[in-house]
Structure 1
Amino acid sequence: MDFVVTADGSSTLYHAEVGEHYHSKHGALQESKHVFIHSGLAYFIEKEKVDSVAILEVGFGTGLNFLQSTDYSIREGIKLQYCGIEAYPLAADIIFSMGYDNYVSLSVWNAFKDKYADALTRSVHFADDIDWQIAHCKVLEFKSDQLFDVIYFDAFAAIHQPEMWTDETLAHVCQYLRVGGVFVTYAITGNLKRSMKALGFEIEKAPGAPGKREMLRAVKL
C-alpha cells in the first residue's frame, strides 16, 4: 500500500493489485463528506425527520466514512448503528497512520483506535448511542437480520472491480435496505442506473464531489 496525499490535503491509499486509490485524488475528505455524509446520512435524516439511523457500508476500507459519520452523528444527536463490510481489512497500523485524527474529535479517534480490532469480530459499543461492527467477509457472503436506512456503496470503481457492481451484488446488498432507505455512491453509469431501477429504486443524478460532475442517489420504493 502506498500513502497518497489528495488535493484537499487528506490522505488515501493506492492499492497496486486493484490499480486504484481508496478515495478520490481530488480530495478524500471532501468526497467522504459530500457523497456519504451530506448526500446520504444528512439527506436521509432530513427526508425522514429521524434521530436514529442504521448504515451499511460496502467497502469499509480506511474507515474514513465511518469516522465522519460518527463525528456527525455525535454533533447532531443522532443514534447510529454502523456496519461496514470489508473482505480485506487493513492493518491497524496503516489505518492509524492515515492522519484522520485531524478530522474528527479526539474522543472519536481514541475510541476508533481502541475498538477497531474488536469491531472486526463482533458488534461493539463505540460511544453513547453508537454501535459499530465490521463484517469481515465478501459482500455476497454478508447476512444480517436487520434492515438498514442508508447504504454507502464505496467499492472500487467498476473498471477495476466489476464483480462489485453486478446485478447480483447490488441485489444482494439492497435486500438489506428498508423501503424509503437511501443508497448513495460516488459513481453514476448507465448500467448502474438501469440496475437500480430494476431493483425498484427511484434514482437521482445528484451533484458529484470535486472531480465528478454527478453521483447516484437512489431511494427504495
Structure 2
Amino acid sequence: MEFVVTGDGSKTLYHAEIGEHYHSKHGAVQESRHVFLQSGFTFFLEKEKTTSASILEVGFGTGLNFLLTADYAHARGISLTYCGIEAFPLPEHIVCHTGYEQVVADRTWDAFRSSYGQALQQETQLLSTVRLAIAHTHLLDFHSDQLFDVIYFDAFAAVHQPEMWTDESLAHVCSFLRPGGVFVTYAITGNLKRTMKALGFTIEKAPGAPGKREMLRAVKQVGPDNWR
C-alpha cells in the first residue's frame, strides 16, 4: 500500500496487488462528493423529502465516502445509519494517515478515528445523529435484516475485481435496498445497465466525476417482486 496525491490535492491509496487506486487519480475527494454524497445521498434526501437515511456501502476502504456523508449529515441534523462492507479492512494506522481530517469537521474526524476499531466489531454511535457499522465480510457472505435507502457501490473496477460486478453479486447487494431506494456507482457499462434493469431498476446516466463522462444512478421500482 502506498499513498498517492490525486488531482485535487487529496490522497488515495494504491493497492499494488490489485493494481488499482482506492479513488480516482483525478481527485479522491471530488469524486466521492460527486458520485456518492451528491448523486446518491443528497439525491435521495431531496427525492424523499426526508431528514433520515440508511446507507449500505460496498467497499468501505479508507472511509472517505463515510466521512463526507457523516459530516454532511451531522451538520444538518440528518439521522444517518451507515453500514460498510469490507472484506479486507485497512489497519487503523493507515486509515488515520489519509489526511481526510482536512476535509471534514474536527468532531467528525475525531469520532471516526477513535471509533473505527469498535465499528469493525459492532454498530457504533459516532456522532449524535450518526451510527456506523463495518461488516468484515465478503459481499456474498453479507446478510442483514435491514433494508437500506441508498447503496454506495464503490468496489474496485471490474477489470481488476470482476467478481464484484457479476449478476449474482449485484442481485445480492440490491436485495438489501428498499423499493424507492437509490443505487449509485462511479462506473457505467452496458452489462451493468442491463443487469440493473433486469433487477427492477430505473437507470439514469448521470454526469460523471472529473475523468469520467458518465456514471450510473438507479432507483429501485416499487412492486411486489422487489421485496425480499
For the criterion TM > 0.5, the same-fold answer is yes
SS of the equivalent of 1:50 reads coil
Q: Distance in 2 between matches of 1:25 and 1:116?
A: 25
Q: Distance in 2 between matches of 1:124 and 1:13?
A: 25
Q: Distance in 1 between matches of 2:198 and 2:163?
A: 18
Which residue of structure 2 lines up, in the alignment, with residue 157 of structure 1?
A: 157
Q: Distance in 1 between matches of 2:121 and 2:136?
A: 8
SS of the equivalent of 1:145 reads coil
1:50-61 to structure 2, matched below 5 A, reads 50-61=50-61
The reply to whether residue 47 of structure 1 matches residue 13 of structure 2 is no
The reply to whether residue 196 of structure 1 matches residue 215 of structure 2 is no
1:104-115 to structure 2, matched below 5 A, reads 104-115=104-115
Which residue of structure 1 lines up, in the alignment, with residue 16 of structure 2?
A: 16
SS of the equivalent of 1:197 reads helix
Cα distance per residue 1:172-219 (max 9 Å; x no partner): 000000000000000000000000000000000000000000000000
Cα distance per residue 1:3-32 (max 9 Å; x no partner): 100000000000011110000000000000
Which residue of structure 2 lines up, in the alignment, with residue 37 of structure 1?
A: 37
Which residue of structure 2 lines up, in the alignment, with residue 83 of structure 1?
A: 83
1:130 positional shift: 1.1
1:75 positional shift: 1.6
SS of the equivalent of 1:61 reads coil
Amino acid at match of 2:82: Y
SS of the equivalent of 2:111 reads helix
1:129 positional shift: 1.8
1:45 positional shift: 0.2
RMSD, matched Cα: 0.4
Amino acid at match of 1:4: V
Amino acid at match of 1:196: M
Which residue of structure 1 lines up, in the alignment, with residue 207 of structure 2?
A: 207
Unaligned runs of 5+ in 2: 222-228
SS of the equivalent of 1:56 reads strand
Amino acid at match of 1:202: T
1:77 positional shift: 1.6
1:73 positional shift: 0.2
SS of the equivalent of 1:218 reads strand
1:76 positional shift: 1.9
Amino acid at match of 1:172: H
Q: Greater shift after overlay, 71-80 or 41-50?
A: 71-80
Which residue of structure 2 lines up, in the alignment, with residue 7 of structure 1?
A: 7
Which residue of structure 1 lines up, in the alignment, with residue 92 of structure 2?
A: 92
Q: Distance in 2 between matches of 1:73 and 1:112?
A: 14
Aligned structure 1 segments of 4 or more residues deviating by more than 3 angstroms: none
Which residue of structure 1 lines up, in the alignment, with residue 65 of structure 2?
A: 65
1:74 positional shift: 1.0
* TM-score under structure 2 length normalisation: 0.96
**Aligned pairs, number:** 221
* TM-score under structure 1 length normalisation: 0.99
SS of the equivalent of 2:75 reads helix
Identity %: 67
